[in-house]
């Protein structure tokens, strides 16, 4: 795997000329993570406005707050920063992110001292950040003190501000535990140092725990662990089990080698291969095999959106399956299954419907009351995007195919799919033309610009068809003996797409209204849903035509400005349509439209406005970096250009451009249990296929 991953390494050998052009580097364990600044620490925005791209604060899956409207969000937990202010620009500088080892090394040299800081997470010990600090000081120099700073003043959910407290327990000289409480978050932060040269000592201060260093030479491993307060003893035990810094660093690297698995692709365009490797790392840094609410759309980088969105997860999930990370994919369905009863009650209360309408901003913990009418109800209409339910069903169904475990399919995947089908079956109604329509209050479509409570949102019709059809397929496979007659009746009659398709343009409107009202004004290409998000078999003529006119559908797309996951959707649609030229065209637009940064380091949540590079202040306050949602779509697009079975039949190289003369892939999985490897040399494929 090393040869496939190392092209994504990031090497910087000069100090940023303009700090606002510097994108902080993201590391994570799958449960915890942070972005790191040019110093290798987390000082961006500490005590002064942010100067570089990307929040820099540790986040952890168990550090979350239940706020207004019953909506739950992850919080920033802590930073490691210089205690007495940042040093000036160094005389010599190097920063290297090794993706294969999951390790960030930052070296700075000044006239009085130099230091190297190597940081890593371990995907098997997901609660701990290790930071190896080595320094050499001249007689007049000294290693600056560091500060572990608990975040106690934070934005909450939808406008509220949280003010918290922390208390320090333990022998503070070389180890301590912080009890951090912010809003409803109640967490432990453990801090420990292992010294092999020089001395280091901790002391408490008003802002947190200060680490001071002495001696002209030092070598120390700083360990920072985070967990929910109820797991503090487990966290401390794991921290104390680490006794040798060199051994732990080697174990963490080896854990990353194991986590990557054995599935990969290789394409002959350096920036595309680099982004593939980075996308895989960011995905694995953000998501681990925990039966817990997965990370927000930007992972643990700390950037925009701190809520959990099932839709976004479903854009990443197929890439995990294709690349063999089935343990992570399965854990998401295990998590959603654990919420069936609560979401049934939520669906009945909000929609007066049966089954499960899987919530848009999904709960992190059990026992809350989402969109509580006694707590201001809703913050916006986006909460009612009813198409969202189908993505949870797809994740459950496709995991069952890759996992091929009959017991798990019946006990876990089937109840999720069945409950989703029950929701859609309870909200459709036969229309005057004999087709089934959806006219539900409250409701919202996939395109936020379309407004609320419209009849026959196109995305909702796709979702209903997929969910009910999939439930029938699963019911037959597991020999379900319950009543499926209503489902069969709905599928036989069909959903009411006829009410949406413009006969002149042969394109469906995004709800039941004239196409002209929304065409060219959409934020997202909803019409492409069956090509990328919900496989519905052979594309209809109006879906295929929407693909051909995809840059006409969305506002500003012709000018190469793309909102949210729009351009990434175009990439994946091209792969599934077997359109190699379309894929190349879409990838070329990524840089033109500032959808990726100049070095293809990461994908933005939305095309970054050109003017924001010269006046970056507002952008730096609310950065869009590391949109893992679109990184998942990119992984899918690149993988599926070479191997996919999206429409049922496995196809090889359908969207692999002819100009890519030397291409290879290894151990890509398909739904029928196959593992496929292949190599293209001078446009001739050699394929090897085996079974799981």
Of 394, 330, 327, give the one whose Cα is nearest residue 358: 394
Ranges of residues in the chain with a pLDDT under 50 are none
Tell me how far CA of residue 201 lies from CA of 168, 192, 397, 679, in angstroms: 15, 10, 53, 55
pLDDT reported for residue 373: 80
pLDDT reported for residue 134: 97
Is-contact 662 270, C-beta < 8 A? no
Helix (H) or strand (E) holding 130: strand 125-137
Write down the pTM of the prediction.
Answer: 0.97
Per the DSSP assignment, residues forming a β-bridge with 674 are 691
Q: Which alpha helices (DSSP H) does 96-240 contain, by range?
A: 232-240
Rounded Cα distance between 242 and 244, Å, is 6
Supply angle C-alpha 212, 189, 291, rounded to 5: 145
- What are the DSSP E strand ranges found in 457-557? 501-502, 507-508
Structure tokens at 239: 């921290």
Write the DSSP string, 632-644.
Answer: HHHHHHHHHHHEE
Helix (H) or strand (E) holding 208: strand 208-228
pLDDT reported for residue 652: 97
Tell me how far CA of residue 451 lies from CA of 173, 517, 599, in angstroms: 58, 12, 37
Long-range contacts of 594-600 (CB under 8 A, 24+ apart): 595/562, 595/567, 596/275, 597/23, 597/53, 597/625, 599/10, 599/23, 600/271, 600/272, 600/274, 600/275, 600/278
Structure tokens at 329: 């994919």
Of 317, 265, 279, 263, give the one whose Cα is nearest residue 534: 317
pLDDT reported for residue 126: 98
Write down the residue that tokens 């580097």 correspond to.
Answer: 25
Supply angle C-alpha 467, 468, 471, rounded to 5: 85
End-to-end CA distance of the chain: 19
pLDDT reported for residue 577: 98
pLDDT of 121-171, one tens digit each? 999 999 999 999 999 988 767 899 999 999 999 987 787 789 999 999 877
Rounded Cα distance between 342 and 524, Å, is 30
Is-contact 460 510, C-beta < 8 A? no
pLDDT reported for residue 158: 83
CB neighbours of residue 291 within 10 Å: 12
Task: Please name the residues in contact with 140: beta carbons below 8 A apart, sequence gap of 6 or more.
Answer: 112
DSSP state of 493: H
pLDDT reported for residue 692: 81
Tell me how far CA of residue 619 lies from CA of 193, 272, 558, in angstroms: 36, 26, 24
pLDDT reported for residue 347: 98
- What are the DSSP E strand ranges found in 513-573? none
DSSP state of 554: B
Instruction: At 578, give phi and psi (nearest 5°).
Output: 65, 30
pLDDT reported for residue 406: 97
Rounded Cα distance between 130 and 191, Å, is 10
């Amino acid at each position: 795997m090393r040869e496939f991953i190392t092209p994504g390494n990031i090497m910087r050998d000069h100090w940023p000329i303009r700090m606002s052009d510097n994108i902080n580097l993201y590391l994570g364990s799958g449960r915890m993570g942070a972005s790191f600044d040019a110093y290798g620490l987390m000082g961006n925005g500490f005590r002064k406005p942010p100067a570089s791209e990307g929040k820099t604060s540790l986040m952890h899956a168990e550090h979350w707050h239940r706020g207004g409207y019953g909506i739950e969000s992850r919080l920033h937990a802590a930073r490691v920063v210089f205690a007495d202010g940042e040093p000036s620009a160094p005389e010599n500088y190097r920063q290297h992110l090794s993706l294969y080892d999951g390790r960030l090394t930052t070296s700075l040299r000044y006239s009085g001292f130099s230091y190297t800081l190597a940081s890593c997470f371990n995907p098997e010990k997901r609660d701990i950040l290790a930071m190896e600090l080595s320094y050499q000081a001249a007689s007049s120099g000294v290693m600056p003190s560091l500060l572990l700073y608990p975040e106690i003043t934070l934005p909450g959910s939808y406008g509220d501000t949280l003010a918290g407290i922390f208390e320090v327990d333990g022998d503070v000289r070389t180890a301590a535990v912080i009890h951090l409480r912010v809003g409803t978050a109640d967490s432990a932060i453990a801090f420990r140092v292992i010294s092999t040269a020089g001395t280091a000592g901790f002391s408490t201060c008003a802002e947190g725990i200060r680490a001071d260093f002495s001696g002209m030479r030092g070598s120390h491993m700083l360990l920072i662990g985070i967990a929910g307060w109820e797991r503090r003893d487990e966290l401390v035990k794991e921290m104390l089990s680490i006794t040798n810094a060199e051994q732990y660093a080697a174990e963490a690297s080896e854990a990353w080698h194991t986590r990557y698995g054995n599935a990969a692709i290789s394409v002959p365009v350096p920036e595309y291969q680099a982004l593939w490797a980075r996308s895989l790392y960011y995905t694995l840094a953000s998501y681990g095999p925990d039966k817990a609410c997965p990370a927000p759309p930007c992972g643990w980088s700390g950037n925009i959106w701190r809520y959990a969105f099932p839709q976004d997860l479903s854009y990443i999930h197929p890439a995990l399956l294709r690349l063999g990370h089935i343990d992570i994919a399965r854990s998401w369905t295990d998590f959603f299954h654990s919420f069936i009863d609560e979401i049934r009650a939520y669906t009945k209360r909000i929609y007066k419907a049966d089954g499960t309408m899987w919530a848009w901003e999904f709960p992190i913990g059990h026992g809350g009351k989402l969109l509580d009418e006694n707590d201001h109800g809703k913050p916006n209409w986006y909460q009612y995007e009813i198409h969202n339910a189908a993505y949870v069903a797809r994740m459950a169904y496709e995991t069952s195919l890759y996992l091929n475990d009959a017991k798990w399919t019946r006990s876990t995947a089937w109840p999720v799919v069945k409950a989703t089908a029950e929701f859609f079956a309870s909200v459709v109604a036969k229309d005057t033309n004999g087709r089934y329509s959806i006219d539900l209050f409250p409701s919202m479509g996939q395109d936020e610009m379309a407004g609320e409570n419209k009849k026959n949102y196109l995305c909702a019709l796709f979702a209903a068809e997929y969910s009910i059809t999939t439930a029938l397929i699963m019911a037959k496979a597991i020999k379900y003996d319950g009543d499926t007659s209503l489902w069969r009746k709905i599928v036989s009659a069909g959903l009411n797409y006829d009410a949406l398709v413009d006969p002149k343009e042969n394109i469906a409107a995004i709800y039941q209204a004239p196409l002209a009202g929304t065409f060219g004004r959409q934020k997202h290409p909803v019409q492409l849903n069956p090509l990328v998000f919900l496989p519905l078999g052979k594309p209809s003529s109006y879906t295929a035509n929407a693909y051909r006119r995809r840059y006409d559908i969305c506002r500003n797309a012709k000018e190469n400005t793309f909102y949210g996951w729009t351009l990434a959707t175009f990439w994946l649609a091209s792969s599934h349509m077997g359109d190699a030229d379309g894929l190349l065209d879409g990838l070329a637009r990524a840089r033109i439209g500032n959808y990726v940064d100049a070095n293809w380091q990461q994908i933005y949540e939305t095309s970054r406005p050109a003017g924001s590079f010269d006046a970056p202040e507002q952008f730096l306050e609310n950065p869009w970096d590391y949109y893992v949602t679109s990184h998942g779509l990119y992984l899918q697009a690149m993988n599926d250009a070479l191997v996919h079975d999206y429409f049922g039949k496995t196809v090889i190289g359908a969207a692999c451009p002819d100009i890519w003369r030397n291409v290879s892939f290894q151990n890509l999985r398909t739904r029928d249990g196959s593992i496929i490897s292949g190599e293209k040399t001078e446009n001739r494929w050699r394929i090897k296929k085996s079974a799981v």
